[in-house]
Amino acid sequence: MKLGLGNQDAAQATVVSLDGAGFSCDISKGKEVQKTFEIIQKTCGNISYLVNAAGSTGDGLLLRTRPEDMVAMLHTDLLGSMLTCKAALWSMLHTQGGAIVNISTVTGNAGQCVYSDSKTGLEGFTRSLAKEVASRNVRVNLLAPGFILTDMTAGLGA
């Protein structure tokens, strides 16, 4: 099992508990994603599976949300998944198969316009990418669970 987690302490604890390898990068930065996936491939071999579970959220009415906060959320929740899919696909297409699961949500509470937008964009991206790579034996799906209590959502209302 290979894990790429943003929180280094959580990543190390998870790696130790699962006897796996851990890699970390800022998924909103294309060059960093590409470099990390190259290291994963050199260290662990071809990439067959990708689960995009990274996310960020924040409560704030649209009128009170700063543009830079909007961009940061879109970079993590949407662009990050696009960049990791692109990086993993090189290996999957080379080995003629693989599977990608993008994690979205059905949650779209008042005060979460930007978050909802980023996850709706992820749904459209997933549908389009699935059609793009289906003939190459790569499956791309979206999982949209309801509200889950995590460190990220602890301060939000359900």
Q: What is the pLDDT of residue 3?
A: 44
Q: Which active-site residues does the annotation give? A: 115
In this prediction the pTM is 0.82
One pLDDT digit (tens) per residue for the chain, 158 residues: 344 445 667 767 777 787 777 788 899 999 999 999 999 999 999 999 999 988 776 667 888 889 999 999 899 889 999 999 999 999 999 999 999 999 988 766 666 788 888 888 999 999 999 999 999 999 999 998 876 666 655 565 54
Domains of the chain and any CATH numbers: 2-143 (3.40.50.720)
Alpha helix stretches (DSSP H) within the chain? 8-18, 30-44, 67-74, 80-94, 113-133
